[in-house]
Amino acid sequence: MRSISGYTRLTKVHKFSAAGIAAAGVAAVAFAVVPASAEGDKQQAIAVKPVAWNAKTFGTEDQRAELVQQADSAAQQARHEAEARKKSEAEAKAKADKERAEKEAASRSAARKPVEAETAAPKAAPAAPAPKSYANNLDGWIREALDIMAAKGIPGSYDGIYRNVMRESTGNPNAINNWDSNAAAGIPSKGLLQVIDPTFQAYHVEGTSWNIYDPVANIAAACNYAAKTYGSMDNVNSAY
């Protein structure tokens, strides 16, 4: 090694590296070389004075081109890494937003279900029971008349009605008396309980037929008259 005008002159070719150098810029580059000693088994670090350089003064054309290419490659790699990082962050954010939206939707759905259950259309009311049916005979007529009488508050029992029906008409709904005083007066007794027209009309029970020969209507009207006159058909034991 020799010293010239205060600068160190290198006597051996040394390798060096430079990064981030722009092709047209001016930079200060500092590097250290470690030449072999005279004995060949020791090395010494030597400080080299920073050198100002530009495209004209630094290295050969090939060296300058290589440095420019290295700088371009480093910048391109940095751009790629930034883009990849940006893409990764965007994907992570999109995934997080999707998961949050799904959780919020599930939460709203869970909260809405009780409300929907409360506001759902009520179940159809159970069908009304079929009207009670009665046999088309004396037993059925008496039972139907008793149900109507119970709804209207008219007293009477099955036995009391049956007993009087059998005495008055023997169970014939079309029976008519054409020989007593009522018949002589032009208002014969009619039906199961032998009711005259004026009495039937005066004590007719709402909801029954206006036909005096209708067995249910005849029983209901006769029992209504007996309740007002005798307290109940059960108290009648003869012509009334």
Q: Are residues 164 and 225 in the same domain?
A: yes
- Listing DSSP states for 11-34 in one string gives SS-------S--TT--EEE--EE-
Q: Which domain holds residue 171?
A: 138-235
Flag whether 118 is in a domain. Answer: no
Q: What pLDDT, on the 0 to 100 scale, is given for residue 36?
A: 43
Q: 142 and 90 in one domain?
A: no
- Residue finishing a domain among 75, 94, 113: 94
Least confident stretch, 30-44, 128-142, 224-238: 30-44
Does 49 reside within a domain?
A: yes
- Whole-prediction pTM value? 0.49
Residues 155-207 pLDDT 10s:
999 999 999 999 999 999 999 999 999 999 999 999 999 999 999 999 999 99
Query: Largest Cα–Cα distance of the chain, in whole Å?
Result: 172
Q: Does residue 48 fall inside a structural domain?
A: yes
Report d(CA 89, CA 4) in Å as an integer: 57
Q: Is residue 149 part of a domain?
A: yes
Number of domains in the chain: 2
The fraction of the chain above a pLDDT of 70, given in percent, is 70
Predicted confidence at residue 114, as pLDDT, reads 64
- Residue 230: pLDDT over 50: yes
Residue 14 and residue 83 share a domain? yes
Which pLDDT does position 119 carry in this prediction?
60
Query: Is the model's pLDDT at 55 over the cut of 80?
Result: no
Asked if the structure places residue 108 within a domain, the reply is no
Q: Is residue 56's pLDDT more than 90? A: no
Query: 130 falls in which pLDDT band (50, 70, 90)?
Result: confident
Q: State whether residue 206 is helix, strand or coil.
A: coil
| pLDDT band with cut points at 50, 70 and 90 for residue 239 | confident
Q: Is residue 113 part of a domain?
A: no
pLDDT of residue 16: 38
Contact call for residues 157 and 226 (beta carbons, < 8 A)? no
pLDDT tens string 85-108 = 888 888 888 888 888 888 888 887
72 and 144 fall within a common domain: no
In a domain, 163, yes or no: yes
Residues 147 and 216 in one domain: yes
